[in-house]
Amino acid sequence: MITNRQLSILNAIVEDYVDLGQPIGSKTLIDRHNLNVSPATIRNEMKYLEELNFLEKIHSSSGRAPSEQGFRLYVNQLLKQTSHQKQNKVQRLNQLLIENHYDISSALSYFADELSIKSQYATLVVRPNHKTDIINNVHLIRANSSIIIMVIIYNSGHVEHLHLSESMEFDDERLTRISNFLTDNYYKSQFDFNKKLKQFTNSIAEQSFINELTIMLTSHLHKQSNSIFMGGKVKLIDALNETNVSSIQPILQYLESEKIIELLENISTSEINVKIGHEIDEGLSDISIITSQYHFDDALKGQIAVIGPTAMHYQNVIQLLNQIWWI
């Protein structure tokens, strides 16, 4: 256990290190925080915090920097304080969906950029898993003699559309009936679906067409689930350029791999979560990931992640994410 004074000194060192980007000495602490103790006392407390692995000496200067363990203790305090705060939740996603005509991909892409601008760090927004969203309606519309548009309407209200080439000459009435068949039977078991399909269709060619539609729809849902939208990648690269250039490549490779999806799925919760350095991956250091959830409704939800150097403004990002509850 550490004393309240030692905890206050650790907190001050973390915040000064984030602001100044360099090891912090006793004189800096006294000047910036008006501490009513002697420099010798501060140095002794810093030495003790270093022995506990909360601080580390980066080079021969007298200053200290927070270790991953020191950042963890600091962040745990912030999370504990934040959990008791009531924030006004921002329903920004609703606005973005309307502005983008319920195109969820465009809305989430805009959101990733907006969150990056507000946080000043890189952001990831993970598209919701459509397995939890129900298709409410499917509409087939002929665009021209060879192109049919499939419009997919979900219970959550958002709309998507697919284009397919089809040479069979279905009239509008038949396309409507096929649309209704898909809407009514898409979620049935394969056995029941095939049985209904044989009763409904007039020809083998029509059966093949409807099977093609269901395969396309299923493939689309699978591909769309857990898509990632990234904002402000350059902010992360710039921050790492200032601290550790050699860490940029492995970090970018991690963010572009399946590992980031697995990480976010494993910590999928409405609570704000912070992973620091090696907590993310044994092969990583120098970055932190702060995650939370956004909601379209009670069932459909996705993950948000803000990514920055370990020396990031945790309090600002946690407060920002704590305001987000988009319904």
Cβ-count burial of 59 within 10 angstroms (0-12 exposed, 13-18 middle, 19+ buried)? exposed
DSSP string, 297-314: SSS-EEEEEEEEESSS-H
With a CB cutoff of 8 Å and minimum separation 6, the contacts of 275 are 263, 267, 288, 289, 291
Instruction: Give the three-class secondary structure for 54.
Output: coil
DSSP3 helix / strand / coil % (the chain, rounded to 5): 50, 20, 30
- What is the spatial distance between Cα 293 and Cα 302, in angstroms, rounded to a whole number? 6
- What is the spatial distance between Cα 2 and Cα 45, in angstroms, rounded to a whole number? 10
Among 32, 35, 28, CA closest to 6: 35
97, 103, 109, 114: CA torsion to nearest 10: -20
Cβ-count burial of 190 within 10 angstroms (0-12 exposed, 13-18 middle, 19+ buried)? exposed
Where in the sequence of the chain do the CATH 3.30.390.60 domains occur? 132-224
- Six-digit token pair at 289? 């990931």
Q: How far is CA 191 from the centre of its chain?
A: 38
Predicted structure pTM score = 0.80
Beta carbons within 10 angstroms of residue 146's beta carbon:
10
Contact of 158 with 267, CB cutoff 8 Å: no
User: Could you say which of 3.40.190.10, 3.40.50.1700, 3.30.390.60, 3.40.50.9100 is the CATH number of the domain covering 132-224?
Assistant: 3.30.390.60
Where in the sequence of the chain do the CATH 3.30.450.40 domains occur? 86-129+226-322
For residue 48, report the phi and psi dihedrals to the nearest 5 degrees.
-65, -40
Cβ-count burial of 103 within 10 angstroms (0-12 exposed, 13-18 middle, 19+ buried)? middle
Where in the sequence of the chain do the CATH 1.10.10.10 domains occur? 4-66
Contact of 306 with 321, CB cutoff 8 Å: yes
- Six-digit token pair at 65? 């920097």
Q: For residue 7, give the amino acid letter.
A: L
Strands 301-309 and 287-295: antiparallel
Mention the CATH class of domain 4-66. mainly alpha
Low pLDDT (below 70) residues in the chain: 60-61, 83-91, 130-132, 225-226, 242-245, 296-300, 325-327
CATH architecture for residues 86-129+226-322: 2-Layer Sandwich (3.30)
- Residue bearing tokens 């990056």: 116
- Six-digit token pair at 143? 């665009």
With a CB cutoff of 8 Å and minimum separation 6, the contacts of 291 are 264, 267, 272, 273, 274, 275, 303, 304, 305, 306
Q: How high is the pLDDT of residue 166?
A: 80
